[in-house]
Structure 1
């Protein structure tokens, strides 16, 4: 029952910005950086990079299974803040400056400097992204890209999708990640699924060729304490086996009274390399979370504005009784990545994973408004859910790099399959025929549960998808690249209603998606590009009439410029986009328990992202995003309006500086500022959620193998509402959070 969740001016601004940038940088023309050819070089080198938790050492740069001179490993550490390569946008090892799509890569050093413990915290300085839509929610990382939700179908782990439907949420522990890659715009041609706003691909830590160790202890706000470790290296003398073991544990509270936020994470990984052409990595992890419903569903009056009594509801109010406001989750991943390079032309890869998730929630929820005229008491209902997820996926890829005599090609042929099984049980006190006492916002009184909810939904959902895709990256010249891609998907969605047998049904769908893009690389690092792509997303679940949903479809045109002057240590991306999304799910106005496909939404805008690792220890991140988001089709009350709970304008700046010489060498400090524009709390756009500005800060000191750091977010402890889903469902954002940490590496 708990519900989850001017155009030409923007493009003109993009063209003007690109023209100005070209004019300003033309004088900086330099020799072209070495270009990647069709053949694979076999000479092995070491790249000095920062590993997990600040560990520094030689990291072998693996390209198509073989070491390659002077090339960053696209699944390995990011040198400083500025990545140069990624596999997310093309599924091949392609330089970002040659990728005709907007993408941001977050590496371990940035995660460490910000002490970002969740995916929400890690993406708060990313262009196009709005993290924390539902405020201080410890159950799930809720994200949007370019105005569209990506936390349901758009979160990936090592290139394979994490389906988050209903309450079967998968949660990402950032300590287990090497990098986070945010790809903006449709990615269905390669992945077969995902929001047209983009996808977030999280890349796991992998075994290293050098031995290392790292431990960290920390704690701070709300009584939180945590410990972490990360060890790895060669497992034999011959250099064929390598291992890594990563662990993290946290205990403590949250800004909501009596709500815990406990978590345990362990991730063993093993790599086998029998020769220079074959590479097999086993990736596994287990995670247990114990928390509560902290994203209180509160009324607009009393949060955004004072209520009729002139009061605001405390951020710390626990709407559920402390004894049974619970949410627990156990999840496990086990899979592998296999790669074999046959020769200079052909390489084969197979990525396979099985994922399991079991969660349960029992809590009193708001979402009903006030129960008295003075607006001092909140009505509540009890919500109970039990969910089990089994997800199997495999992605097979054959890559061929060759020349046809006129052009160079990088051809990727793929076949992938996913099988998703969901057992979804949901119940309320309404179904059981009893009421839940209301609660005072001034003097809350808690007691035992009034009763046990009865189910209104008991479903066994089955979803399968088979996709065939083909992509060709064609070098029309040394500087001009044409990317062509196409895909066909076969999807089958079945719902077995075990509560009302007449409600069982299903559907099968076929979807065709494609992408075409051009990018031109100047010698001095300027790269204008343009692309057109489509998306196809089968939807899980049923509407109020127990009918399965039609697949979502979308189209996007994107144009932009990238600028990475050789040797300067920064990367700038400017992008303009126009997205049309059809068959969009929204809350059913007749009954908010269910969703409905009511129309089409359009997002048109501009975004800018700068990432820099400059000389003398200075790192910087800056971003700006503005777009127009409107309902193009649908019921009369939403037509032409902005969808609820999504801001359309935000900007951020983050700096970190470490003194390099003198008596204060190793001492560093910095901070950030985040601006989020207004959003709306109702479909008629009459209730406005105001914009807000937040400040973050950090200090740290490195000496020998030790590091001491203190991080603070929202240092002014500003009380703000991150968004409202309706006039009865508003969400407080994160209160001030201060964490101190001490780490040691060897």
Structure 2
């Protein structure tokens, strides 16, 4: 039964427009024939659940040449929409943190889409893209996409990804791949209710329009009261796409999206003598009229022309906007003797961001080569409005605090504008040396010119150009039809701060540089019993900001850090009706050279928010029309400071799901999260304030297909 559900999703996933080679593109316009050819395979293997990691499917996160995951000499992974529904991971953050070695370090101040992996954390080292296009990060904030509805899969490329995505991706890059229009009509819906008044709805549909057109519309909405006072949240998203196919060689797409999010207005819980006080779990020390709001609009137009002789030309023009607002009290300090909480940082911030860009690309398949040559250009306008220096103070009870209202004598006004011009040139070539050997080589040059204008009467104007060149070289050897080995070396660049909000203090700093070596294996087991992968890696990063040993008051570039580790992932069907999925990451991450204020030497210390052990496990058992699933997650100890004196404890959480396939159109799911009601911290907000993870909750969800 589950195989019948998964096989069409896998087929659909292989026909996405962005990563396809020419043959894949042509197959995508003949879905009826493709479906007919897969029916016998479904019937033959219908007695056993499918278990795979998608090794033979294209993965656009790893390369723009159309390579499959098995062919790509890198650690690439995809979480498909069926797995997302099975596990109840309706937020992108939840789905991503099931993947190998990735943990969430998202908080209200960074848009909640911030991650840690391979020893590197934050929005300047882990990038987020949609269909291969990134919105520039301003003031360390990433908030889109929030909801996983409307996406066919979410891909992850671990390690430096600068050749494909540009700077700010030494740790990893996450790419959300949208569901594409199809001329075969289909519609789906999801509705659910849950703990704390949560209500969720999702609608999606696709079909033909006339002789040459097809459409795709996805809409979702979410609201809830939250688990603590002033913990209410809401949001909605509309994604639309229109595809025009005048002939087999030419295709146009128009896309228009709108998203509005009002996340939980929670900034964390203060520590009690360096520890989590479980009695404060449900408390919220923010004010009653606090605001967090993100509004995003996205317009895109794409064209693809198969010009003949293996040449395909693609062009994509886009305009993105992001408007964000925060009005909150953000810092809390607990006095354990008086049981009072001192509040500070009455903060008001707004972001007005607009990015307009174009990507022109030529893909050539000739002989044993699959090459891609591209040029990207974008203009980013960013305005930062705030009430710095963020004064204000108050004291409330630690238990049942009276929230009060937001008030500040600091005026809120525009503080600075930046205009940034981004350009990149890139080249990739996948060279099939023989039936068993493939060489992937690529290089990319990025340039960013940032002009900043002070609007508050100071003297912080600047004009700065930053540039960096990244490359990678990887070799894949198909030991057998089911087993491939690979080795690769790659480089990348990270900014020391968000480029479009560069300030005078960072004016003289260049990009940091990262270097990685990695080797691994990818294998499909006999008789469809599953797939597994393993990777060994080491990453070194130089030119991080440190203090001058001769003058600790002066910040300079010259620090360094490294990480090394092993990653394992597997999907297995050991027995009939049983399916297991899991991954493991073991890591060592250390500063090699870092001096902080006052001359404190942090060499040998672990970077903040970096766990050295991460494990995810899922087991599924199918009986008749039912499937029972149990999942577990372990995240090792992390630190909230570079001195490694404030620790976020390790934690284990357990999730479960029970699915009932009522008929071929209807599935009901009962989902349980954090079954043991574990009190744990996902990240820190400063060294004395932790953001606590979600308490135990349950959801009942209905999925419908037409």
Tell me, in whole angstroms, the C-alpha distance in 2 between the residues paired with 1:545 and 1:165. 16
1:516 aligns with 2:487: no
The answer to whether residue 220 in structure 2 is matched with residue 254 in structure 1 is: no
Question: Post-superposition shift, 1:700?
Answer: 0.9
Aligned equivalents of 2:201, 2:155: Cα separation in 1: 26
- The structure 1 residue matched to 2:159, chosen from 185, 202, 216, is 185
Q: Which residue of 2 aligns with 1:499?
A: 456
Q: Which residue of 1 aligns with 2:298?
A: 333
**Does 1:356 pair with 2:321?**
yes
- Is the partner of 2:447 in helix, strand or coil? strand
Equivalence for 1:438: 395
The SS at the match of 2:163 is: helix
After TM superposition, give the deviation of residue 188 of structure 1 in Å: 1.0
Instruction: Kindly state the Cα deviation for residue 256 of structure 1 after the two structures are TM-superposed.
Output: 2.9
| SS of equivalent to 1:190 | helix
CA distance in 2, matches of 1:167, 1:452: 26
Q: How big is the shift at 1:272?
A: 1.1
Q: Secondary structure at the match of 2:235?
A: strand
For each residue in 1:272-318, what CA deviation from the matched residue of structure 2 results, as whole angstroms up to 9, or x when unmatched?
A: 111112222222210111234323152363643x5xxxxx4512211
Distance across 2 between alignment mates of 1:168 and 1:426: 15
Residue 376 (1) aligns with residue 349 (2): no
**Corresponding residue for residue 320 of structure 1:** 286
Which residue in 1 is equivalent to 2:522? 562
Hey, what's the Cα distance between the residues in 1 that align with 2:253 and 2:662?
Answer: 34
Using the alignment, how far apart are the partners of 2:27 and 2:208 within structure 1? 23
Q: In the alignment, which of 620, 638, 643 is matched to residue 656 of structure 1?
A: 620
The TM-score, its normalising length taken from structure 1, stands at 0.83
Whether 2:381 is the aligned partner of 1:415: answer: no
Looking at structure 2, the residues matched to 315 and 728 of structure 1 have their Cα atoms a distance apart, in angstroms, of 15
Query: For the aligned residues, what is the CA RMSD?
Result: 3.2
Distance 2:179 2:192 in 1: 21
Candidates 589, 593, 610, aligned match of 1:629? 589
Cα deviation for residue 150 of structure 1 reads 5.2
3-state SS of paired residue (2:605):
coil
Aligned with residue 217 of structure 2, among 245, 258, 268: 245
Give the distance between the partners of 1:97 and 1:113, measured in 2 at CA.
25
Displacement of 1:394 after TM fit? 2.0
Give the secondary-structure state (helix, strand or coil) at the position aligned to 2:149: helix
Deviation of 1:56 (Å): 10
SS in 2 for 1:98: coil
By how many angstroms is 1:524 displaced? Answer: 3.7
Counterpart residue number, 2:42: none
Match of 2:657 among 673, 681, 698: 698
Cα deviation, 1:123-168, whole Å, max 9, x if unaligned, reads 222112112x246989422212212125456000100112232275
**Aligned ranges 1:512-591 → 2 under 5 Å:** 512-538=469-495, 539-540=498-499, 541-542=501-502, 545=505, 547=507, 549-565=509-525, 568=528, 570-584=530-544
Change (3 A) 1:491 1:727: closer
In structure 2, the partner of 1:161 is: 134
In structure 1, what is the Cα distance between the partners aligned to 2:13 and 2:327? Answer: 49
Deviations 1:583-635 (A, max 9, x none): 446999xxxxx999673221111111113578855443210001111112220
Aligned pair 1:345/2:302, yes or no? no
| C-alpha contact 1:532 1:558 (8 A) present in aligned 2 | yes
The equivalent of 1:205 in structure 2 is: 179
Work out whether residues 576 and 605 of structure 1, in 8 Å CA contact, stay in contact via their aligned partners in 2.
Answer: yes
For the residues of structure 2 that align with 1:585 and 1:167, how far apart are their CA atoms?
Answer: 17
C-alpha contact (below 8 Å) 1:543/1:595 kept by paired residues: no
Q: In the aligned structure 1, how far is the partner of 2:123 from the partner of 2:574?
A: 33
Cα contact 1:364–1:382 (8 A) shared by 2: yes
What residue is the counterpart of 1:224 in the other structure?
198
CA distance in 1, matches of 2:11, 2:310: 34
Aligned to 1:715: 675
Give secondary structure in 1 for the equivalent of 2:164.
helix
In the alignment, is the contact (CA less than 8 A) between 2:61 and 2:173 conserved in 1?
no
Structure 1 residues 134-173: aligned runs within 5 Å: 134=106, 139-149=111-121, 151-152=123-124, 154-166=127-139, 168-172=141-145, 173=147
Q: Which residue of 1 aligns with 2:253?
A: 281
- 1:479-501 deviations in whole A, cap 9, x for unaligned? 01111112222221222121134
CA shift in 2, pair 1:55/1:480, >3 Å: closer
SS at match of 1:95: coil
Alignment-derived partner of residue 82 in structure 1: 53
CA distance in 2, matches of 1:637, 1:604: 22
> Contact 1:680–1:688 at 8 Å: present in 2 too?
yes
Work out the number of aligned pairs and report it.
Answer: 669
1:549 Cα deviation from its structure 2 partner: 4.1
Is the CA contact 2:191–2:202 (under 8 Å) kept in the aligned structure 1? yes
Q: 1:647 to 1:598 in 2, by over 3 A?
A: farther
Check 1:614–1:289 CA distance in 2 against 1; reply closer, same or farther (3 A cut).
farther
Consecutive unaligned residues in structure 2, runs of 5 or more: 39-49, 549-553
Answer yes or no: is the 8 Å Cα contact 1:286–1:331 preserved in 2.
yes
Unpaired runs of 5+ residues, structure 1, are 1-46, 307-311, 589-593, 660-664
Distance 1:580 1:300, change over 3 A: farther
* Alignment correspondent of 1:93: 66
Change (3 A) 1:313 1:361: farther
Rounded to whole Å, the distance in 2 between the matches of 1:177 and 1:596 is: 42
Q: Deviations over 1:537-574 (max 9, x none)?
A: 44423457363642222111111111124762533111
Looking at structure 2, the residues matched to 570 and 366 of structure 1 have their Cα atoms a distance apart, in angstroms, of 48
Report the equivalent of 1:729: 689
Alpha-carbon deviation of 1:329? Answer: 1.4
Q: Show the counterpart of 2:242.
A: 270
CA distance in 2: counterparts of 1:336 and 1:587, whole angstroms: 47
Closer, same or farther in 2 for the Cα pair 1:55/1:505, shift >3 Å? closer
Q: Could you tell me whether the CA contact under 8 Å between 1:292 and 1:326 is conserved in 2?
A: no
Shift of 1:355: 0.9
- Residue 342 of structure 1 deviates from its aligned partner by 1.8
CA contact (8 A) 2:682 2:691 kept: yes
Equivalences for residues 389-428 of structure 1 within 5 A:
389-403=353-367, 408-428=368-388
How far does the alpha carbon of each residue in 1:497-539 deviate from its partner, in whole angstroms, 9 at most, with x for none? 2113411113112322111111101224111111111112444
Change (3 A) 1:177 1:699: same
> Is the alpha carbon distance of 1:262 and 1:170 closer, same or farther for their aligned partners in structure 2, counting shifts above 3 Å?
same
